[in-house]
Amino acid sequence: MRYADPAVTPPRVSQEISEDRRRSLEALVEDLREFGEGHDALSGWLAQKEKMVTVLGPVAAEPAMVNNQLQQVKVSEVNRRSRSR
């Protein structure tokens, strides 16, 4: 039961309300931390993909050019993995 007027709210109920609010805020802080970590990871991934697209240019239509682009992607991935270690 929630009391509209804090002046008449029994102390025990006030403590329960405060504890509920504290738990809610802690959960919100954890959600924001996870969101920030996800944002950082996605930003890094997106930057890598933008760099790759810049290097490769538009997707080729000719099979030989597509194979060349696939090779470039593989080399880029190997280079990226070796730098991240």
Span 38-57, pLDDT tens digits: 999 999 999 988 988 888 88
Domain count, the chain: 1
Query: Global pTM?
Result: 0.55
- Higher model confidence: residue 23 or residue 48? 23
Domain that holds residue 36: 6-84
Helices and strands (DSSP H and E) totals, the chain: 2, 0
Asked if residue 10 belongs to a domain, the reply is yes
In-domain check, residue 21: yes
Q: Name the nearest CA neighbour of 3 among 73, 14, 40.
A: 14
**27 inside domain:** yes
Whether 47 is covered by a domain: the verdict is yes
What's the rounded Cα separation, in Å, for the pair 85 and 82? 6
